[in-house]
Chains A and B, each alone.
Chain A
């Protein structure tokens, strides 16, 4: 046992889907368990923070951390695990890019707290009670982590060695990443462990994508039927494929849904949302301002659509004023 490399899994601001992704390895997980010693995995095993604190620095081969960083506790755990690990891996879209929680960066903390604890229609909170970081009761003090102003990707908090993209990462890329890690056959630090080419390249409908797109309208998947054979974008549905890294083998497209961009951009793109905006808008088939606006009105929420997973890791990172 002591000779096996040690691995830790941890979750921060996440939904649990990334934990499922580990289980999605199915029988391959047996190989992983065989090869490594899992020393910390709150969702599945009963090790505590103090157990991690007791480990020597750098004694864990790799920590796979999923979820974005929103609270002081998540930040502390990220620092702790960073210190204890040789390799820190941002696992999944939230850790990699801020993910869905990152969309909260469109609102300041006060607005979120006020809505959640006071204004939400399902609330009964006449005293407008809000959580506090320390509360004294019967001489004992109960504490809660502090909610930070905004959501951050893992690499905005600690040094990250590799990224495993996806919401959640697919079994194939997880398996490849773990395999590379255990054999030491790893790419240069900072790499995203997935192909560095746009999703369209591996899309089964690639051949039906026209050279020149021209949008007369944008359709939405819940309001119109998608032809299961043709390029989704060519049909007028907003597909993030052209601005998104491949590696998922076009899972959503195979399920007849457009790509929503969870693998993030390729290494040559700084800002996934801006790049996709550029591609989409350029191909609007109108020249008059009013007509352009009418077509673009088919994208009712540009931030939520183009930065669905990447707002925290975009150039602006958050609402600026």
Chain B
């Protein structure tokens, strides 16, 4: 890796994108469950984290997922008007709109962070969204933030370097 932190290109074929998925307990998580019991097959690249509401997803979670090695982050919430807590999904939508602008300014590509409304009955939508996102991330390639930051830290002397946790 060079000091600018550009990671080496992944060998085609062996790299699979990793997606951190924050799914709302009342809709998308249930939909993912439905996809499972319906035996729908979709790309195995998501690691689902169940949250009680998409409104619980702090933008810090999204940044931290990327910094810890996720190539993309998917947030699944209830359709507008359907939030179990009335307003949570709107709060997420508003944060998402500003976060996307901020991430674009910081060089994170648009397809890496995605918000989808998926109701409990839309198991098939989980499949199409995840498959589509995996395709888009494969086209983008790995993000490799942990490696990039580590490479960047090597610019300054290796001894005594204390990267903030």
Contact = CB atoms under 8 A, between A and B. Distances in A.
24 contacts: A108-B4, A148-B156, A155-B162, A155-B164, A156-B162, A158-B160, A159-B162, A270-B64, A275-B58, A277-B99, A280-B98, A281-B97, A281-B98, A281-B99, A282-B91, A287-B93, A292-B94, A292-B97, A301-B105, A302-B98, A302-B101, A315-B63, A315-B66, A319-B107
Contact of B4 (A69, A149, A271, A306): A149
Interface string B108-146: 110000000000000000000000000000000001010
Contacts of A319: 105-107
B110 to A, nearest CB: 12
Interface string B73-113: 00000001000000000110111011101100111110000
Nearest to B99: A277
A156 to B, nearest CB: 6
B63 A292 contact: no
Contacts of B153: 156
Contacts of B108: 316, 320-321
Contacts of B106: 106, 303, 316, 318-320
A313 B163 CA distance: 10
Given A155-B162, A306-B102, A318 B97 contact: no
Contacts of B34: none
Interface residues of B, number: 42
A285 B60 CA distance: 22
Interface in A244-298: 269-271, 273-275, 277-278, 280-282, 284, 286-287, 289, 292-293, 296
B143 A320 contact: yes
Nearest to B59: A274
B107 A302 contact: no
Given A79-B160, A296-B97, A316 B66 contact: yes
Contact of A150 (B91, B95, B152, B164): B152
A63 to B, nearest CB: 15
B97 A316 contact: no
A268 to B, nearest CB: 11
Residue picked from A75, A152, A275, A280, most chain B C-beta under 10 Å: A152
A157 B161 contact: yes
A82 B149 contact: no
Contacts of B102: 273, 277, 302-303, 306
A277 B98 contact: yes
B114 to A, nearest CB: 14
A197 interface: no
Contacts of B94: 281-282, 284, 286, 292, 296
A143 B107 CA distance: 34
Nearest to B96: A281
Q: Which of A148, A155, A282, A292 has the most CB of B within 10 A?
A: A282
B94 to A, nearest CB: 4
Nearest to B165: A270
B60 A158 contact: no
B151 to A, nearest CB: 10
B90 A287 contact: yes
